[in-house]
Structure 1
């Protein structure tokens, strides 16, 4: 039997943090329910930074002028289903500083089955029993909050 690698789907995601170093996560009901960072796949000809800003507008109603887009902090590769087809999604995670008052879910143009958004403290992120993606997010948030953002993107496994 021949196994093949699923088609590549490149994605950009944002680790959205406010001035109090809280991180914004979105809740989805699929697969038993989970929390995840905002983001999605790149459009034709789009780079990861541009896609990150577009996704924040589409999912959270954030004006890109209100976003301080920082460096890429991490990357992750994961095989999963999209639209009933298996893909290998390769995600790049960028730091995005945003004021909580600039989040306007009512202005979102593509809420993508988002059930809720919530600002999480580092303590809340570390102690929750809920599923949070990506695995390792709390350590990244802690490093950024302490002024120790990685110099090179870290590779996340979960």
Structure 2
């Protein structure tokens, strides 16, 4: 039997210098883009804004939310059960000053937040999700937002 579907919205947040914001998750020791599962009846852009508010304390007015630029599907465990998570990644622009952990209502397992340069993403030995994030950002810098979402592994 196939695992149940778990739709998730994630955000590739860039600052004015095209640095990308990642959060460190202690439950597995990896860096990842902010985001999470959709609430019942919620669309993806609304979920992106909610997740930024919950995880990072970002006020909606400080986010310039763009189009969906990528997607990824993976099977992993949530609450001890396998799910097939389908993630849609949206591009957002925000200033570093928009991050306010004191306003975060659900920081979950986030232990750190950091802005990464493209070179740092390429050179690190730390685990970064999604795989291929550096290449995706490089393509956006070179050619702009893709016409259709890129499939990530």
Q: Do Structure 1 and Structure 2 share a fold, with TM-score over 0.5?
A: yes
8 Å CA contact 1:140, 1:149 repeated in 2 = no
Matched residue, 2:43 = 47
Moved more, 141-150 or 105-114: 141-150
Matched residue, 2:68 = 72
Matched residue, 2:80 = 84
Among candidates 117, 120, 127, match of residue 116 of structure 2: 120
Gaps of at least 5 residues in structure 1 are: none
Matched residue, 1:146 = 142
8 Å CA contact 1:57, 1:64 repeated in 2 = yes
Q: Deviations over 1:3-31 (max 9, x none)?
A: x1100000000000000100000001223
Kindly report the root-mean-square deviation, in angstroms, between the aligned alpha carbons of the 2 structures.
0.8
How many angstroms does 1:146 deviate by? 2.8
Q: Distance in 1 between matches of 2:91 and 2:108?
A: 21
Q: Distance in 2 between matches of 1:106 and 1:139?
A: 32
Count of aligned pairs: 153
The runs of 4+ residues in structure 1 deviating greater than 4 Å are none
Q: Give 3-state SS (helix, strand or coil) of 1:19's partner.
A: coil
How many angstroms does 1:147 deviate by? 4.3
Matched residue, 1:20 = 17
